[in-house]
Amino acid sequence: MQRRFMGLVAAGAAFGMTVMLAGCGTTGGSDGVTLRLVAADYGNGAADSSRTYWDDLARDFESRNPGIKVDVDVYSWKDVDRKVAEMVDAGNAPDIAQIGAYADYANQDKLYRVEELVTIPTQANFLPMLIEAGQTGSAQYGLPFAASTRLLFFNEELFDDAGVEAPKTWQELRVAAQKLKARGVTYPFALPLGSEESQAETMIWLLSGGGGYRDRNGGEYQIDSEQNIRTFSWLKEKLVTPGLTGPVPPGKLDRAQAFEAFTRGEVGMLNGHPTLMQQAEKKGVKVGMVPMPGAEGQAEASMGVADWMMAFKQHGHRKEIGRFLDFAYSDKNVLEFSDRYDILPVTVSASETMAADTKHKDLWEFLAALPTSELYPSGEMSWAKVSASVKQNIGQAVAPDGSPAVVLNRIANDAAKAEIEADASK
- CATH number, domain with residue 184: 3.40.190.10
Residues 173 and 234 in one domain: yes
Residues 200 and 312 in one domain: no
Domain final residue pick, 339, 356, 372: 372
Rounded Cα–Cα distance for residues 273 and 133 (Å): 20
The total number of structural domains in the chain stands at 2
The dihedrals phi and psi of 288, each to the nearest 5 degrees, come to -100, 150
Residues 51 and 130 in one domain: yes
Residues 79 and 183 in one domain: no
Residue 263's domain comprises 149-303+380-425
Residues 244 and 337 in one domain: no
pLDDT by residue, tens only, the chain of 426 residues: 443 443 444 444 444 433 333 334 333 445 689 999 999 998 877 778 999 999 999 999 999 999 999 999 999 988 999 999 999 999 999 999 999 889 889 989 999 999 999 999 999 999 988 998 899 888 999 999 999 889 999 999 999 999 999 999 999 999 999 999 999 999 999 999 998 889 999 999 999 999 999 987 657 899 999 999 999 999 999 999 999 999 999 999 999 999 999 999 999 999 998 888 888 988 999 999 998 999 988 787 789 889 999 999 999 999 999 999 999 999 999 999 998 888 899 999 999 999 999 988 888 888 887 877 888 887 788 888 899 999 999 999 999 999 999 999 999 999 999 999 888 776
Residues 292 and 319 in one domain: no
pLDDT of residue 409: 98
pLDDT of residue 7: 45
Q: Distance from first CA to last CA of the chain, Å, rounded?
A: 42
Three-state DSSP state, 192: coil
Residues 209 and 117 in one domain: no
pLDDT of residue 376: 87
Rounded Cα–Cα distance for residues 72 and 56 (Å): 10
Rounded Cα–Cα distance for residues 157 and 281 (Å): 13
Rounded Cα–Cα distance for residues 422 and 382 (Å): 6
Rounded Cα–Cα distance for residues 97 and 82 (Å): 12
Which H or E run contains 187? Answer: strand 187-189
Residues 52 and 87 in one domain: yes
pTM for this entry: 0.75
Residues 292 and 236 in one domain: yes
Residues 89 and 226 in one domain: no
pLDDT of residue 217: 65
pLDDT of residue 20: 36
Residues contacting 290, CB < 8 A, separation 6+: 151, 152, 154, 166, 167, 168
Residues 94 and 167 in one domain: no
Three-state DSSP state, 37: strand
Pairing mode, strands 68-75 and 33-40: parallel
Residues 293 and 406 in one domain: yes
